[in-house]
Amino acid sequence: MLDVSPWLGYALDWANLLLRWAHVVVAIAWIGSSFYFVWLDNSLTPPVDAALKAKGVGGELWAVHGGGFYNPHKYLGAPKALPAHLHWFYWESYSTWLTGFGLFTVLYLFNAGTFMIDKTVYDWTPFAAVGTALGFLVGFWVVYDLICRTLGRGARGNALVGGAVSVVVVLAAWAACQLFAGRAAFLLVGGMLATTMSANVFFWIIPGQRTVVAAMKAGQPVDPAHGLRGKQRSVHNTYFGLPVLFGMLSNHYPFATGHAHNWLVLVLMMLAGALIRHFFVARHKTALAGQGAPWRWAVAGVAILLGVAVWLAPERPAVSSVVRPTPANLWLQVQHIVATRCVACHNAALANKGIALDTPELIQRNAQNLYRQAVVLKAMPMNNATQITDEERAVLDRWYLTGR
């Protein structure tokens, strides 16, 4: 009988590659257009031309790009007549979510036992882990939407929503890191925010715009509430953007995802991203008003990043705490550690990432990768599935640094 498992693995690798590629491309389009329109809104000036005012234009901007001049206008509420061709910005959002969820499914949900579960964190079944992960994606959107609809009114509405949503994000980050492997937890919290961003577009921004267009076509007055709600959710999306990008990229940095207090690392990094984003949003407004840039927000974000970097700096294991074996015994210990902790996934039949470690020659040939992944980054074994100890990592450390 033909063994289809290698072909299935190969097909999943291609799905991973193509989905990741597509996801990055469409995410650039979505985040880029989101950043552009926030900048545009905060950079508009009242029109001077009486004809523009008569048409209902509330703000305009002159710009030059690519050898051409552009003069976008924003109407107060809606124009008096709809153009024949009206461009809608929503497929950038939908395609980003669809490709992202597809990638999450192929890489994490189909391999929950490997990528989502760390038994030293929480020992449960792949089925339960998958169900809980999906619950995070849906549950956060439901709670966030409820907060916006109940607290997002009045002069203090934005502040109340921001505070309440921040608390929920912190709790979600803590819970995810108590249940899932660090890499999966960081990605899940990022995906949770990204799902909410796309849900804002799907459930509020686009329906509100469609209602406005339908009212105009029917010759009915336009309710400004739709524009205000859409603007509110759009602003929330721009603040979610940088935290989401950190969550998406974090799985490459196990020094962050594997930390004992990784939930706090995640919260602080996302906070830094939000503060830096706020600097740019506020800077658009102050630049238009002829005021100086609000550097305090950028400084606060960078200070948090530097503080986390110092906090996570690795400590060299105390050599005196480990008995120094003779070089021959050290090499024997290294071979035993690799055979026990690494060879299950790195052998002639299953050479993950193209690395095999099942012979002494292969260990020597891949010594740098072994040292980097198991000692410096502590990324391997993945989720510490084979339960390598700190003492064993220290043995690998001494072996590599003493010239092997």
In this prediction, residue 136 carries a pLDDT of: 98
Burial 250-264 (b: 16+ CB within 10 A, else e): bbebbbbbbbeebbb
Task: Kindly report the pTM of this predicted structure.
Answer: 0.84
Beta carbons of 244 and 140 less than 8 angstroms apart: no
pLDDT of residue 225: 87
Query: Please, which residues have CB within 8 angstroms of residue 370's CB and are 6 or more apart in sequence?
Result: 338, 342, 357, 363, 396, 400
Q: What is the DSSP letter of 312?
A: T
pLDDT in tens, the chain (404 residues): 444 466 777 888 888 899 999 999 999 999 999 999 999 999 999 999 999 999 999 999 999 999 999 999 998 877 888 888 888 999 999 999 999 999 999 989 988 988 899 888 999 999 999 999 999 999 999 999 999 999 988 768 889 999 999 999 999 999 999 999 999 999 999 999 999 999 999 999 999 999 989 998 888 888 888 888 898 999 999 999 999 999 999 988 888 998 999 999 999 999 999 999 999 999 988 877 778 889 999 999 999 999 999 999 877 655 544 555 557 788 889 899 988 999 888 887 776 777 888 888 988 888 888 888 888 878 888 878 788 888 999 888 888 888 66
- Can you give the residue ranges of every domain in the chain? 5-43+77-311, 319-401
* Residues ≥6 apart with Cβ < 8 Å to 231: 41
User: What confidence score (pLDDT) does residue 307 get?
Assistant: 97
Cross-strand partners of 64: 69
8 A C-beta contact, residue 243 and residue 193: yes
In the chain, count of helices (H) and strands (E)? Answer: 16, 4
DSSP codes joined into one string, 141-203: HHHHHHHHHHH--STTHHHHHHHHHHHHHHHHHHHHHHHS-HHHHHHHHHHHHHHHHHHHIII
- Please give the pLDDT value at position 320: 46
pLDDT (0 to 100) of residue 325? 59
Question: What local confidence, expressed as pLDDT, does residue 1 receive?
Answer: 42
In this predicted structure, what is the pLDDT of residue 324?
57
Element holding 8 (H helix, E strand): helix 5-43
Closest CA to 191 of 280, 109, 277: 109
Please, are residues 122 and 181 in contact by the beta-carbon 8 Å criterion?
no
In this prediction, residue 199 carries a pLDDT of 98
How far is residue 75's CA from residue 53's CA, in Å, rounded to a whole number? 9
